[in-house]
Amino acid sequence: MQYLVYVCLFLGLVAAHPHHHSHKRSTPVAQKSFSLPDKFTPFKSGKPHFTIPGSVIADRFKVSSCVDEGELRDYSHNLVIHRDSPTMCNIGSRTLWFFDDTFVYNNGEFFGAAANSVAIANSLSEPAQISDISVSVSDGVTVAIPWTSSEAAIQYDVSERYALWAHAPCIPLGNNKAVHFWGLCKFNGSLEATALGYSSVTYEYEEDTGSLTIVRDEVVSNSGSNYVYGGFASLVVNTVIYLYALDSGYSGKYDIHLAKVQRMQYYDQSKWEYYDAATKSWSAEKPVPTGRRQSAAVISGPMPFSTGNIFYSQYHNAYLLVFFTEWADNTFYALTAQSPTGPWSDSVITLQKTTPGANGYNYGGQASPIFFEGAEESNQVGKELLLTYTYQDSTTSWYNKVEKLVFE
């Protein structure tokens, strides 16, 4: 979809700071299941500690090559699929790709559309090849994230429909389970939408049956003033989940705030703790901001953030934040730190300038170090990154591109 409709999520949902008082999991409102094919792509990551001895290996950020792997697509059929904003989710021995607005054509004719879709990665060695799950020639096009009955009733009304979009990777909870934040928007015209809030969506994979169950919780409205922890990025270190929230409303997308929780206690918000960078301390009291809290932010960037990924790179002996500065952008940048709480570097590393489409920009940039086999055993995780973004080659055609970046 074109850039204008995504203003809903980044300038509406996040800026409004959804507020949530519940200490327990929200009420499920919809559920559906998919059968997954046997496509094994086990999660690959480094083994970081909270504090890493030594320092960032700064001379390893020079890029040796960046190979265009082509379109992220299913090559087993001839459907032409235009879709937005790929985000990755590792669950069990599978790597899933979730997408936002998805429009499908068959032999030049419109075939179907959905507000989101899901596919599975085929292999670690061919990162652009996927198998579609919610799109098929025989069964048509369906959403990955289930609607409520009232939302489903108008899902094909272009001017009035709802949209569920995600722009950050999911959060792995272990035991073949993950959680993902999806923003809910309501269209008021073909290119105008209002942010209504967000849903926390749980994925659970059953290895024995190959079934993926997707359970969507009730919408948390935009009426409050809290950060969306985990809505920007997340990081799992041993048994602890670090959840990063972007402050778009008060900081202009420059500040990122941090919470943490034991992975097995994720759904109990009474167990969450919130970081104050000014005092370098954690508190059980959830902040309710009424203005910018720059000194408390774990990251206060030298430039703004839009989409980003945080992960540990063995190759650089550092945690990396790889990001776009604007939703419509062409360049991947990086910051570094020795722990999830920082301090994060002030100097920005320019990683890769992508070639823009016909409109002069790409959008929805994401980065991951997980796809490349053998890296973990040789302490090379992070030497090769998978870069993805939406490339719009014309006003009526757009698709997800994949690039493989290799450091020297």
Please identify every stretch of the chain with a pLDDT value under 70, giving residue numbers as ranges. 1-25, 42-51, 190, 221-226, 370-379
What value does the CA radius of gyration of the chain take, rounded to a whole number of Å?
20
CA distance 12 to 301: 21
Task: Summarize pLDDT for 38-86 with one digit per residue, the tens.
Answer: 887 765 554 555 567 778 888 999 999 999 999 999 999 999 999 998 9
Query: What pLDDT is attached to residue 376?
Result: 59
- The whole-number pLDDT of residue 357 equals 84
pLDDT on residue 223: 44
pTM: 0.90
pLDDT of residue 11: 37
CA-CA distances (angstroms) from residue 154 to 160, 163, 195, 249, 337? 7, 11, 17, 30, 46
Which pLDDT tens digit goes with each residue over 158-167? 889 999 999 8
What pLDDT, on the 0 to 100 scale, is given for residue 219? 86
Question: Residue 26's pLDDT is what?
Answer: 73
Task: Please tell me the predicted confidence (pLDDT) of residue 222.
Answer: 58
pLDDT per residue as tens digits for the range 274-327? 999 999 999 999 998 999 999 999 999 999 999 999 998 888 999 999 999 988
pLDDT at site 24: 58
Q: What is the pLDDT of residue 377?
A: 60
- Contact (Cβ atoms closer than 8 angstroms) between residue 298 and residue 227: no
Report the 10 Å Cβ neighbour count for 118. Answer: 25
